[in-house]
Structure 1
């Protein structure tokens, strides 16, 4: 008996998506504390306990994102991804694929450049910092596209990332 192709994402895929999204949001909101701590170390000044805690958290959350993204890529290769929820213009499918692969690239490159900034050279910090505006733009496009599918096209795309379906 042939297995029916998946129409949605598995519970694991959905959990990974939202866990990574929340961790990235944390990084975007509190990542500046890392800069504060690094600058203070270079100047020989002290920082608040809150800034130190948030900088440490930034480091560990970044490592967590990298690990979860590696797992997410393995799961995607293993389980695949469902086809588009609706037949739309081909440019929309191409745009969706490009944006998803850009997310994967950023989710790997930003933590790696952060680690390189800490362990290899401060110059990687400048590259790492470019991740924040890139993430903000990509997240905005991603969220708007999901809302467009939900409320304009009404094809269930957003629901597939909220409710498991196999």
Structure 2
């Protein structure tokens, strides 16, 4: 862990955060394409170009989420993160829980997807499919918390992940 605590998130922290957010949003919106690809491969064995592209995009975007998440954890460990804004004990626990569960999902969901697709592990696929509703719930909580801090508490929590200026 870093011996010093930065005053603000670095541009690298911010870029990785928003890149992962965009990739996960893509997965949530277009993730059903994997089912289309699987059905096509089980059926006549030849998916159309769009189905093949979207299915493969799902795989590669999932890998990108996993790689960027590992990179983000390395950056956090190496360079640290700013101290949390002052909050009640309950808000602090909720923030830690949501962030921790998001990190867990950003690792487990791609790994189980890869295990299901390339390893044929049915149970991994079932776990993988639980990721979508869990991501939606946690993202909603994360966004609600950020908006609450920004509009109700009027602190700089949200702005810290938009600009690296302290």
Q: State the match for 1:119 in structure 2.
A: 118
Structure 1's consecutive aligned runs of 4 or more residues displaced over 4 angstroms after TM superposition are none
The CA deviation at 1:48 is: 2.8
Aligned residues: 163
Q: State the match for 1:6 in structure 2.
A: 6
Could you tell me how far apart the structure 2 residues matched to 1:44 and 1:61 are?
Answer: 26
- The equivalences for 1:14-53 within 5 A come to 14-44=14-44, 46-53=46-53
SS state at 1:74 partner? helix
Q: TM-score, normalised to structure 2's length?
A: 0.92
The CA deviation at 1:80 is: 1.4
SS state at 1:54 partner? helix
Could you tell me how far apart the structure 2 residues matched to 1:42 and 1:52 are?
Answer: 13
The CA deviation at 1:122 is: 2.9
Q: Which runs of 5+ in 1 are unaligned?
A: none
Could you tell me how far apart the structure 1 residues matched to 2:165 and 2:109 are?
Answer: 31
Q: TM-score, normalised to structure 1's length?
A: 0.92
* Structural RMSD (CA): 1.6
Could you tell me how far apart the structure 2 residues matched to 1:59 and 1:48 are?
Answer: 17
1:5-40 CA-partner distances (Å, limit 9, x unpaired):
423211000000000000000111111111111122
